[in-house]
Structure formats: C-alpha cells, structure tokens
Amino acid sequence: MKEGLIIRAAHYPGRAPIDAYGNGGFRFADMSHRGSILCLPSGIHGWPVTSGRGLTEEDLEKVIAEAGELDILLVGTGIDLVPLSKTVRERLRQFNVSVEPMSTGSAVRTYNVLLAEDRAVGAALIAVE
C-alpha cells in the first residue's frame, strides 16, 4: 500500500530567536517558515492569521492554553500597530499575561531581547512582505 503526502502542522519544538522576517515569513533555528507564527514555551508554531485587525480569543487559543507559562505576550500586528480588542486584553489579563501590540518588526526585536534574558515571553507574529 502506497502512502500519500502527509502534511503536518508547522511546529519547531523549542524556543529560538527570530533571525529574520519579511517576504511573507520568518527565519529561525536554521530554517524558514512562510506565514505567521506563534512563539510559545512549547515551541514555534505556524499560525494561520494574516492580519492584526480583529484578532479574537479563538486566534489566540494556543496562547491562552500556555498562558500560565507566560508573563508577557508581544503581538506583532503587521507593518503598523493595530490595537487589540478589550476582550482579548482582558482574557489574557485573567492569566496575568501582559499584552503588548506593536509592529511585527518591533515585536521580533523585543522578543529576541527578552528571550536572551530568559524571560517568560511569547510572541504572536503576523508575517509581513
């Protein structure tokens, strides 16, 4: 019996700094990923979100599942800063997670600094061209 192509969810099982961003994706840990990503204690995951506008609790479901291991979540909302809804901010505040929306470039740089300091940081990064 011949097996077909198996497609798995994109996941890097560790924490790693982001080496580069742009062209619709990210480079980290000697690999690249096209599309948005979530950087969490469980690793770096592909994230199907394409815009910072209208982010919902459902979009951040994986973040909420790991919120107990985070102190801060950086949200890279694309080229421009897009404020997060009060609902999303309050939901994460229930877990004592501080949420900081900013442009994706700023979020990548800040994430790398906080990661190097071994802080309990996560990032939700929307890919930019």
Name the amino acid, one letter, at 62.
K
Per-residue pLDDT 10s for the chain (129 aa) are 456 544 456 778 889 999 999 999 999 999 899 999 999 999 999 999 999 999 999 999 999 999 999 999 999 999 999 999 999 999 999 999 999 999 999 999 999 999 999 999 999 999 999
Is the C-alpha dihedral spanning 21, 99, 43, 113 positive or negative?
A: positive
Q: What is the DSSP letter of 69?
A: G
The burial of 86, by beta-carbon neighbours within 10 Å (0-12 exposed, 13-18 middle, 19 or more buried), is given as exposed
Residue 88 CB contacts under 8 Å (≥ 6 apart), including other chains: 55, 56, 57, 60, 99
pLDDT tens profile 57-91: 999 999 999 999 999 999 999 999 999 999 999 99
Sort 71 into a burial class: Cβ within 10 Å, 0-12 / 13-18 / 19+: middle
Q: Which domains does the chain have, with CATH numbers?
A: 18-125 (3.40.1230.10)
State pTM to two decimals: 0.91
16-18-24 Cα angle (round to 5):
130
Copy the structure tokens of residue 19.
């080496």
